Amino acid sequence: MAEVLLFHHAHGVTPGVTAFAERLAEAGHTVHVPDLYEGRVFVDLGAGMDYAHEVGFGTIAERGRLAAEGLRSDLVYVGFSLGVLPAQLLAQTRPGAAGALLVGACVPVTEFGPAWPASVPVQVHAMADDRSFVDDGDLDAARALVAGAADGELFLYSGDKHLFADPSLSSYDEVAAVLLMERVLAFLN
């Protein structure tokens, strides 16, 4: 079974993030869910993003890096939207990564190094018509990452929702979320 370090999106550690982690744990995986927002949870996505800007994306990434300290090196890093930042950073730079699952976002590989590590399998998941994923360059970054990875896959789901996998949010899409979970569990196994 895998050991997973799961990073939340800009709303914070919502009940939906916790439910996702619990589903992985029920499947036998060890899951860690650090709180990059130090207890804050935002109902409004804009307010959550404002907080991330206020704290600084470098601080968010550093909190993620610190969350990995003391954990074994062969982790699978999972990030939802904002959480992709520390997940991708760690998967690319922390030796021994067992894999990465990036949901709703992707950072250009060159942000953290010259190339994606050949030994790290990666999946990127997003909705095909999610404006923030498509218009902000994440889709291009995901395609480039997958093309350069020895074991990489890009999954585009039908729809336009950004945080489609969190059942505690109005953007939840059950059909896509179920398929995402199936693919995540297969990846972890």
Please provide the average confidence, as pLDDT, over all residues in the chain: 97
pTM: 0.97
Total of domains in the chain: 1
Q: For the segment 105-147, what is each residue's pLDDT rounded down to a tens digit?
A: 999 999 999 999 999 999 999 999 999 999 999 999 999 999 9
Per residue in 9-53, pLDDT tens?
999 999 999 999 999 999 999 999 999 999 999 999 999 999 999
The CATH number of whichever domain residue 8 belongs to comes to: 3.40.50.1820
Which domain range does residue 21 map to? 3-188
Q: Region 59-82: what's the mean pLDDT? A: 96
Contacts 24+ apart (CB under 8 A), 34-41: 34/5, 34/7, 34/63, 34/64, 34/67, 35/8, 36/7, 36/8, 36/60, 36/63, 36/64, 36/67, 36/82, 36/83, 36/86, 37/8, 37/12, 37/13, 40/12, 41/11, 41/12, 41/13, 41/14
